[in-house]
Structure 1
Amino acid sequence: MIKMTKQTYKNTKYIQAFIVEDHNEVVPYIHTYIGSKQLPFEGLTLIHFDSHPDLLIPLNMPADTVFNKHTLYETLSIENWIMPLVYAGHISTIYWLKPPWCEQIGEHTLEFYVGKCVETGRIRTTCKENYFVSEALYSPEEQLENKKKVALTVICVRPEPWLATDRHSASVSHQSVDQHVHISKCSEHSDINCGQNNVDCEKDNISRESELKDDQRNPNSLSEDDIYSLSPPEKKVKQDSISDLNSLRKKTILPPSVCERFVSISEMLQGKRYILDIDLDFFSTKNPFQELYTTEQLRLLSELYRYSKPEDSSSEAIQRFVERREKQLETLKNAFATLSKDINAEVSNLDGKSVSLVKELISNLVSSSSDVDFDLVHDAGCTMDDTELPHHVSSKKQILQLMEATREILKLLPHPTLVTAARSSSDDYCPPDQVEFIQQNVIQILEQTYPTIVIMPSYVQNIDINEPTPASNKTS
């Protein structure tokens, strides 16, 4: 698809949905809406569907960069585009809506500050979540100036019941997702329409197991002929899309408690302008490093980037940890930068064990590839914290379940002012062989929910999906 020029509809009854490839590319559109006063300058709410929080901060970026948009756009990456908008004062409330397989931040609400560190001049946060601390992004409040308060609420979107055909293979590298199909307890019936009790589910075990075997043939093949509605096994109905799911399902797919939460959020948003943001990897996601590196190479990286957690949750203990962690990451980054210029160079400032691990890793990498990207090796290492990058290649039925859950959430919320969406397929986070199917159905949901929406594609379609390269450290 050819990249389209940015067009702004003066008639405010229209809702524009900008679809980009890399997620950080939505920032210019947000700036444009703020500059044209279609969005307020401050106090914005962001509803963020994604398999990743995207809440990191560019580690070495001067805080004042957020006020130079051209430099900012060149600095941002897919995992760190939201917090600079918080520091600039634009976004003050974030709802991260995560799919069932994501564990980077637990379900709760946090309030913390984002500000400029008086010592380094860089953006830091007072949040003590390991997601931030492991990236050396923590700073105590007294060391921050120009502080902005932000409320982050994490909500897991778990359709009820979540499909039993769960292909979560995050802990195993280079193995087909088909080898990791697990049939969970019968109470987790695999149909959207399931209103049956456990006894009824037991009667359907044979049918569901047969269905799983069919799905194992090619879990990522999403041709039109393979798309089925999620009616009971004895009553399958072929569908070209998810448009008829509303008439097929017998009850809401969201648990009542989740519906109640979104009713409350809707009440809070009444009369306010907000941003709806959807990453297509919310519906199915990969950890691309699992395909780039062997199990042994990932093990060596994990050993090399391993760290000891803070002794306790006090600010002093976390500060000491952050200093150690920042030094560790900087030393490893410099080591790989040296090796990128001369693979036989001696690396300095590493302890004996780390030197040994680096040599073993380099030997392993060179034996499997003649061209080693050391920047990418470092990016992969930076993901080695206490939670791995999520890896869950969803079956088509799981995708449809999450689609229906998304539809129900959007119907509970007032209309957004701006919609942004990221494909995330060129770097392999959204499986390239599923992205068109996912995008088609997301667009359909948007068009059905918001009759006046205008879809604005703003990306160049990836031509070669055989050798995707992660754009950056999407980090957990």
Structure 2
Amino acid sequence: MTEIKEQSSVQPMKRFKKVPIYVVEEHNDALQFIYSAIGGKKLPIEGTALLHLDAHPDMLVDRKLKGEEARSGRKLLPLLQIENWIVPAVAAGHIDHVIWLRPPWAKQFTDGSRVIQVGDHPYTGLLRVDSKEPYYISDALYSTELKNARKFTLTVAEFSNLKLKRNNEQELNKVIDAMNICQPYVLDIDLDFFSTGNPFLSLYENIGLYDRLEPIFSFKIPENDDVSTIEKVIESREAQLKELENIFQHLEEHGDLQNYSGEKSHTFKMVMDIVTAVSVEAERLNEKPDWWAVFAAGCTRDQGGLPHYINTKEGIETMIKESLALLLKRLPPPVIITIARSTDDGYCPPHQVDYIQFLVLETLQEIYETDEPILHYLNAST
């Protein structure tokens, strides 16, 4: 049993003398510092809120992750990726309110609050949610039957520029009221919140690969959202994703589909066309095709693709030095602050990340009494 699970949720919390700041590269690495704060009794074992500023919700679940793995304390950490690190911590009971503040160009969820249950599928033990939103249905993550279920609130609000003008006070109050945040909470900032790249746009861009993947990976959200209809959609989507995974697994292992033993379906034929085009382009570039990268790109095409907005220097400065500062001054201080650079994978533009990080850290240190930032990304193994 881990130190997190041994702690009682009713024990009095200790306090950091100064607000610690942890800067990581990959966003899922932030969770280890949240767990450390729980283990050190600086955060409660249950009932923490996460204020998440990001161009991406990071609220998916690995389709192969079991509920018992989500509740395994630190053993969970190596199983996580950047898009799916939050909900497993919710399933373990540590977080019960996620507030996703999104930039205007990120629209993966509609604004507002909703209560979602997360738990174990009764037959497979896999972690699933009862949300019918396209974000979850597109990954076949919906289930009506859940064991060890936990309820949490997901609040989504748009955060646009709030310049220091009197007529923006009403807009600021609207955002704060929508968040409904209370202590204790973790302030979590992804630097791609301020300028966002879609790294898959440049993957074999000369052949328009990203757009060509859409008809292969997309699916139609049903207009009727009754349980029986959604369950049929989930079954069909699960089969589609499994077939695509098998095809690309074969490609990764063999480099072509000549001896593929699966069904030669319409999906298979569409992928074959992509394989031909990618192989020719890769040969022209004198490189070996990265089929898992192609698969990963396709998996982002289900609902129109990832957000992409390369902000100007002036736009970045306004968002941080004016809007962010104005918002944080109106909120109670967080227990800890986590920051993700998200630049090695191309989500925060590499030519802007250091400047964004400098401005964010400068602003946080002006508002809070903080420790010197711990730059985890400099020492983390690659």
User: What TM-score do the two structures reach when normalised by structure 2?
Assistant: 0.89
Deviation at 1:410, TM superposition (A): 0.6
Deviation at 1:343, TM superposition (A): 2.3
Deviation at 1:260, TM superposition (A): 3.9
Cα distance change of structure 1 residues 340 and 275 upon mapping to structure 2, 3 Å threshold? same
Deviation at 1:433, TM superposition (A): 0.4
CA distance in 2 between partners of 1:29 and 1:339 (Å): 38
Is 1:262 matched with 2:176? yes
Counterpart of 1:456, as a letter, is I
Deviation at 1:254, TM superposition (A): 4.6
Tell whether the 8 Å contact from 2:27 to 2:340 is kept in structure 1 after alignment: yes
Write out per-residue CA displacement over residues 242-276 of structure 1, whole angstroms, 9 at most, x where no aligned residue.
xxxxxxx5x1585613324416757x52xx32100
Deviation at 1:34, TM superposition (A): 0.5
Q: Percent identity?
A: 35
Q: In structure 2, which of residues 118, 121, 127 is the aligned counterpart of residue 117 of structure 1? A: 121
1:225-244 to 2 correspondence within 5 Å? Answer: none
Q: Secondary structure at the match of 1:285?
A: coil
Write out per-residue CA displacement over residues 56-103 of structure 1, whole angstroms, 9 at most, x where no aligned residue.
001111111123345422210000000001000011111100011111
Is 1:321 matched with 2:233? yes
CA distance in 1 between partners of 2:266 and 2:208 (Å): 17
Q: In structure 2, which of residues 8, 30, 35 is the aligned counterpart of residue 31 of structure 1? A: 35
CA distance in 1 between partners of 2:262 and 2:46 (Å): 44
Counterpart of 1:346, as a letter, is N
CA distance in 1 between partners of 2:64 and 2:151 (Å): 21
CA distance in 2 between partners of 1:313 and 1:263 (Å): 30
Tell whether the 8 Å contact from 2:90 to 2:96 is kept in structure 1 after alignment: yes
Q: Secondary structure at the match of 2:373?
A: strand
Is 1:57 matched with 2:61? yes
Cα distance change of structure 1 residues 81 and 254 upon mapping to structure 2, 3 Å threshold? farther
| Structure 1 counterpart of 2:10 | none
| Structure 1 counterpart of 2:246 | 334
Tell whether the 8 Å contact from 1:96 to 1:153 is kept in structure 2 after alignment: yes
Q: In structure 1, which of residues 429, 445, 463 is the aligned counterpart of residue 347 of structure 2? A: 429
Q: In structure 2, which of residues 278, 302, 306 is the aligned counterpart of residue 389 of structure 1? A: 306
Deviation at 1:106, TM superposition (A): 1.1
| Structure 2 counterpart of 1:280 | 191
Q: In structure 2, which of residues 281, 297, 318 is the aligned counterpart of residue 368 of structure 1? A: 281
| Structure 1 counterpart of 2:333 | 415
CA distance in 2 between partners of 1:412 and 1:337 (Å): 50
Deviation at 1:15, TM superposition (A): 0.6
CA distance in 1 between partners of 2:305 and 2:43 (Å): 35
Q: Secondary structure at the match of 1:106?
A: coil
1:98-247 to 2 correspondence within 5 Å? Answer: 98-140=102-144, 143-160=145-162
Tell whether the 8 Å contact from 1:446 to 1:453 is kept in structure 2 after alignment: no
Tell whether the 8 Å contact from 1:110 to 1:152 is kept in structure 2 after alignment: yes
Is 1:454 matched with 2:372? yes
Deviation at 1:348, TM superposition (A): 4.2
Point out 4+ residue stretches in structure 1 off by more than 4 angstroms: 252-255, 263-266
Larger radius of gyration: 1
Q: Secondary structure at the match of 1:56?
A: coil
Q: Secondary structure at the match of 1:109?
A: strand
Cα distance change of structure 1 residues 361 and 373 upon mapping to structure 2, 3 Å threshold? same
Counterpart of 2:148, as a letter, is N
Write out per-residue CA displacement over residues 387-441 of structure 1, whole angstroms, 9 at most, x where no aligned residue.
3100000011111121121111111100100100100001010000000000000
Deviation at 1:356, TM superposition (A): 2.2
CA distance in 1 between partners of 2:212 and 2:260 (Å): 17
Q: Secondary structure at the match of 1:358?
A: helix
Tell whether the 8 Å contact from 2:15 to 2:42 is kept in structure 1 after alignment: no
What stretches of structure 2 of length at least 5 have no aligned partner? 1-13
Counterpart of 1:281, as a letter, is D
Is 1:66 matched with 2:88? no
Cα distance change of structure 1 residues 252 and 158 upon mapping to structure 2, 3 Å threshold? farther
Is 1:353 matched with 2:270? no
Tell whether the 8 Å contact from 2:191 to 2:356 is kept in structure 1 after alignment: yes
Tell whether the 8 Å contact from 2:155 to 2:179 is kept in structure 1 after alignment: no
CA distance in 1 between partners of 2:52 and 2:334 (Å): 12
User: What TM-score do the two structures reach when normalised by structure 1?
Assistant: 0.72
Q: Secondary structure at the match of 1:79?
A: coil
Counterpart of 1:104, as a letter, is Q
| Structure 2 counterpart of 1:183 | none
Deviation at 1:36, TM superposition (A): 1.0
Tell whether the 8 Å contact from 2:23 to 2:339 is kept in structure 1 after alignment: yes
